[in-house]
Amino acid sequence: MSRRDIGQAAARLPRKDRAGRVGLVGAGAVVAFEALWLVLGLPAGALVSDLGAITVAGWAGVACVGAARRHPVPLRRFWLLLAATMALSLAGRALWTSQRLLGESLPHTLPIGLIFAASLLTGTGALLCWVTAPRTTVGRLRTLLDGVIVGLALIPIGWLLIFRNVTMADLDEPLRTAGLLYPMFDLMQLTILVAVVGPGRPAGRPMALLGVSLTVRAIADAVYVSLVAAGTYQLGTPVDVLWPLSYLLIVVATRMSPPQYDDGAEEASDVPLPPWWRVVLPYLPVAGAIVATMLARDASGHTPLPIFLAMMALLATLALRQGLAANENLRLVARLRQLAYVDQLTGLPNRLAFIRRLRGALRGANRVAVLLLDLDGFKQVNDRFGHTTGDTLLSGLSRRMRRAVGDDGMIARIGGDEFAVLVTGGRPATPERLAERLLAALQPSPGEELVGVHPSASIGIAEYGPQHISHTDLLRDADIAMYAAKAAGKSAYRRSTQALRESAVSRAELIADLRRAVDEEQLHLEFQPIVDLATGVVRSAEALVRWRHPRLGVLSPARFLPLAEETGLILPIDRWVIHEACRAAATWQERGPSATVAVNIAAAHLRRPDLIATVTEATAGAGLAPRALTLELTESALIEGSDAVLDRLSQLRELGIRIAIDDFGTGYSSLSYLHRIPATELKIDRSFVARIPEDTRAYATVEMVTRLAGAFNLGVVAEGVETERQHDAVAAIGCVQGQGYRYGRPAALAELRSVLAKSGPSGVTDVAESGLTLT
């Protein structure tokens, strides 16, 4: 049972029951009565103090048994041992009383000493059973030794402060001498209690009251010992009430619930380190013991025998304690080494261990190759099923890969879903053979593909050569080859080549140039008309971004937009396109008041809450009516949309912005999301339009989409219309609008304004003859 279960079970216990309440009140009444009797100095004070201590100790034992019955097993052991301690205290005090009544003034006899020793063992055992006590044998032994060190160190100090003036004749009875060591045992148990509670953990009211009880008992024993040593102790004085008071505090402690604990929290990295005083606590009295030993020497320079024996025992205990500390340090070093070089999820070497091995292999001037493996689609697993499923999947896949590599290389997990294999000289398997084995190992077993969470992998291979100056160069080339494998369709491997390296350098340079493109006004827009198929009138124009690269010339969107999406640069580009398209559309409103402008929006921008602000600022700044702007979104971007995305689209529609689903039919076409998305039109993908004259299935698809759009009250635009036959086919099907080279290529704004001025009811010929067909 965990400590959290203990706390929860204790919280369900009744806070008060009638019998326990009566016992608590009765014990308190006895202590109050005894205190009043002794303070007033009434006769038979010694008997009253003995009977009071016996009565309250008995009540404390019964209360501890009742607490043990109400608590789970770990706490039950604590309360039962404490009950045994109270029972032994009762027995010892009863025997003390009987022997005193028979004539012994201070009966420090062997039976009483044995009872006290047994109560010391059970009390200490109870402390070591508390919920925050160390859970290992070594930890418990260390805690016990801390208490013994404090107790032994107090013997020379006590001798110097209390017993130095007591003659040896006064201590001729061993049991009487042992009785004078009671404060030492009290402080030993207090030290163990402090160690058990530990830093950063709530002591709980039961343990706090037990600490107060031990403190009261230590004060009582210290006063008793000092008075006995001075020969002034009298039975039946107010100091005698301190012992039953310490028992009463235990009765109160049984009424308290322990704190709730979480095992995982104790093992977490955010548990605070122990304070400095807790670390040095066992050793602080040792310095005092050394000084006391030096001051306690007689005139001849000899150390009294009790002090000598105590110091020998103290040295032996310190040696044992330091031996345990050294053993713990070795275990800690081993644990830290494991944490530093082993991945905790998979048990594989981590990135740091892999780099160390790789650097060592390169220094050996042997054949060295690196395989860099990245799981395809693993992010979707985490997003769809959660990180717990992802971790389980990673653990299983890592075991497969470890078996696939075997002794032919070293496999490590170097990132979230990235693994690396190091192959050195003398290995029988080639890197390509290892890559094939890894890909085969990652193939789903029968039934696993039904789960839908089994990713493939892309592997890049780089072998050490003259182009590699360091291990970072080798890893870079493996990374380049891995991305080439992804681009080739995934679930594949590629070897690093000079061509791939040059391509990667060009790609990096292009990304760097793209970061400056917006600020340096290198981007510009071209517009492709969208016409009414029946009249040829230009109803809209799609804004298409182009990049006038200072060195490479004009680049099409296919060349740089994928890079922009990978790097996040698509967001500032999208914002610029929206603003520029709105300004352009505002300039043609006089010539074509009903003509709108369409802008493509990336999926990343759709997920951003500032999209609405961007659109409203763009339309308001250009003086363009919101209804004149259409946002084109791909099916894949829409189908992955959350409820927040759908709410954002609804807000845009309420503003008057039109929503078009671009490339319809190529993504996740679903009737269910057509019900949810506030779209205004569908754009049939060019792949269907291109086959429509010859492919009856393509014709049927376009016809079906057109009818579907009509059922949902959506407009339809046929994309990619390039020939007269395609135009006739989509017009015959009933498509309202068309877009493609048949009606005009993307061109500058000035040419589009010219077409808007000429287009009219004369038909599509006006558009074709307008000159817009020129690139």
Give residue-wise pLDDT tens across range 105-129.
777 778 888 898 899 999 999 999 8
Question: Which of 621, 592, 626 shows the shortest CA–CA distance to 754?
Answer: 592
Instruction: Give Cα separations from 702 to 541, 699, 706, 710, 744 (angstroms).
Output: 22, 5, 6, 12, 22
- Residue 524's region, left for phi above 0, alpha for psi from -120 to 50, else beta, is beta
Distance CA 319, CA 492 (A): 61
351-446+453-504 matches 529-540+571-754 in fold:
no
Question: Is 619 within 8 Å of 626 (Cβ atoms)?
Answer: yes
Supply the pLDDT for residue 733: 92
Please tell me whether residue 773 adopts helix, strand or coil conformation. Answer: coil
Which ranges of 168-304 would DSSP assign to H, the alpha helix?
174-179, 182-197, 205-230, 242-253, 263-267, 276-280, 284-295
CA atoms of 575 and 577, how far apart (whole Å): 5
Dihedral angle of Cα 334, 335, 338, 341, to the nearest 10 degrees: -90
pLDDT band, residue 383 (cuts 50/70/90): confident
In single-letter form, the type of residue at position 135 comes to: R
Q: Is residue 173's pLDDT more than 70?
A: no
Please give the backbone phi and psi of residue 458, each rounded to the nearest 5 degrees, phi first. Answer: -115, 135
CB 262 within 8 A of CB 63: no
pLDDT surpassing 90 at residue 353: yes
> 135 CB contacts (<8 Å, ≥6 apart)?
none
Cβ atoms of 541 and 595 within 8 Å: the answer is yes
Strands 368-375 and 457-463: antiparallel
pLDDT value, residue 502: 84
Does the pLDDT of residue 704 top 70, yes or no? Answer: yes
| CA–CA gap between residue 732 and residue 718 (Å, rounded) | 12
Mean pLDDT over 468-477 rounds to: 87
Query: At residue 539, what are phi and psi to the nearest 5 degrees?
Result: -95, -25
Q: Which residues make Cβ contacts (< 8 Å) with residue 334, sequence separation at least 6?
A: none
Q: Does domain 529-540+571-754 have CATH number 3.20.20.450?
A: yes
pLDDT, mean of residues 671-682: 82
With a pLDDT cut of 70, the percent of the chain lying above it is 85
pLDDT of residue 764: 39
Model confidence band, residue 369 (pLDDT cutoffs 50, 70, 90): very high
Which of 306, 238, 220, 331 is closest to 48 using CA atoms? 238
Mean pLDDT of 295-315: 80
What pLDDT sits at residue 260? 60
The pLDDT > 90 percentage for the chain reads 38
Task: Please state which of the ranges 63-67, 122-126, 156-160, 497-501 shows the lowest mean pLDDT.
Answer: 156-160
Residue 763 pLDDT exceeds 50? no
Q: What are the boundaries of each domain within the chain?
A: 17-137+162-257, 351-446+453-504, 529-540+571-754
State the Cα angle at 20 between 18 and 23, rounded to 5°.
110
Confidence band for 153, pLDDT divided at 50, 70 and 90? confident
266: pLDDT strictly greater than 60 = no
pLDDT of 5 higher than 90 = no
pLDDT above 50: residue 701: yes
| Burial class, 740, CB count within 10 angstroms (exposed 0-12 / middle 13-18 / buried 19+) | buried
Asked if residue 246 has pLDDT above 90, the reply is yes
CA proximity to 350, closest of 395, 422, 412, 403: 412
Contact between residue 38 and residue 241 where contact means Cβ atoms under 8 Å apart = yes
Contact by Cβ (8 Å): 624, 589: yes
- pLDDT tens string 92-109: 999 989 988 887 777 777
Q: Which pLDDT does position 599 carry in this prediction?
A: 95
DSSP line for 271-322: SPPPPHHHHHGGGHHHHHHHHHHHHT--TTSPPPHHHHHHHHHHHHHHHHHH
Find, among 690, 680, 684, the residue nearest to 719 by Cα. 684
The alpha helices in 663-773, defined as continuous H runs, are 671-676, 686-691, 696-711, 724-733, 749-758, 765-768
Q: Which fold has domain 351-446+453-504?
A: Alpha-Beta Plaits (3.30.70)
- 663: confidence class by pLDDT, cuts 50, 70, 90: confident
The pTM of this model reads 0.57
User: Which residue bears the tokens 């006739």?
Assistant: 728
- In this predicted structure, the answer to whether residue 234 has a pLDDT above a threshold of 50 is yes
How many other CB atoms are found less than 10 A from the CB of residue 574? 23
- Tokens 């929290």 identify what position? 265
Residue 771 contacts residue 751 (beta carbons within 8 Å):
yes
Q: Band of the pLDDT at 449, cuts 50, 70, 90?
A: low
Query: Buried b vs exposed e over 665-688: b needs ≥16 C-beta within 10 Å?
Result: bebeeeeebbeebebbbbbbbbeb
Query: What confidence category does residue 199 fall into, taking pLDDT thresholds of 50, 70 and 90?
Result: low
Alpha helices in 303-430 (DSSP H): 305-341, 351-363, 378-385, 387-405
State yes or no: pLDDT of 330 exceeds 90. no
Report the C-alpha gap between 182 and 223 in whole angstroms: 11
Query: What gap in Å lies between CA 24 and CA 518, rounded to an integer?
Result: 81
715's tokens = 């407009």
Confidence of residue 699 (pLDDT cuts 50, 70, 90): very high
Chain-centre distance for alpha carbon 348: 20
In three-state secondary structure terms, 209 is helix
Beta pairing partners, 717: 683, 737
- DSSP-assigned letter for residue 747: B
> How many Cα atoms sit within 13 Å of 542 on the Cβ side?
25
Contact 640, 608 (CB under 8 A): no
What's the mean pLDDT in 375-397?
83
| Strand segments (E) across 501-585 | 523-532, 538-549, 553-555
159-173, 396-410, 655-669: range with highest mean pLDDT = 396-410
Q: According to the model, what pLDDT value does residue 768 have? A: 43
Mean pLDDT of 416-440: 89
* Average confidence score pLDDT of the chain: 83
Distance CA 598, CA 320 (A): 82
Query: Is 767 a residue whose pLDDT tops 50?
Result: no
233-237, 350-354, 552-556, range with the lowest pLDDT: 233-237
pLDDT at 547: 93
Q: What average pLDDT does this structure show over 743-762?
A: 78
When pLDDT is cut at 50, 70 and 90, the band that residue 198 belongs to is: low
3-state secondary structure (DSSP) of residue 563: helix
Q: How confident is the model at residue 667 (pLDDT cuts 50, 70, 90)?
A: low
CA distance 38 to 34: 6
Least confident piece of the model among 116-120, 336-340, 367-371, 737-741: 336-340
What is the reported pLDDT for 386? 81
- At 222, is the pLDDT very low, low, confident or very high (cuts 50, 70, 90)? confident
Predicted local distance difference test score (pLDDT) of residue 53:
93
- DSSP characters for 607-669? T-TTHHHHHHHHHHHHT--GGGEEEEEEHHHHHT--HHHHHHHHHHHHHT-EEEEEEETSS--
Taking the C-alpha atoms of residue 73 and residue 61, their distance in angstroms, rounded to an integer, is: 18
The kind and range of the H/E element at 495 are strand 492-495
- C-alpha 530/C-alpha 718 separation (Å) is 9
Cβ-in-10-Å burial (0-12, 13-18, 19+) of 179 comes to: buried
Lowest-confidence range among 149-158, 368-377, 760-769?
760-769
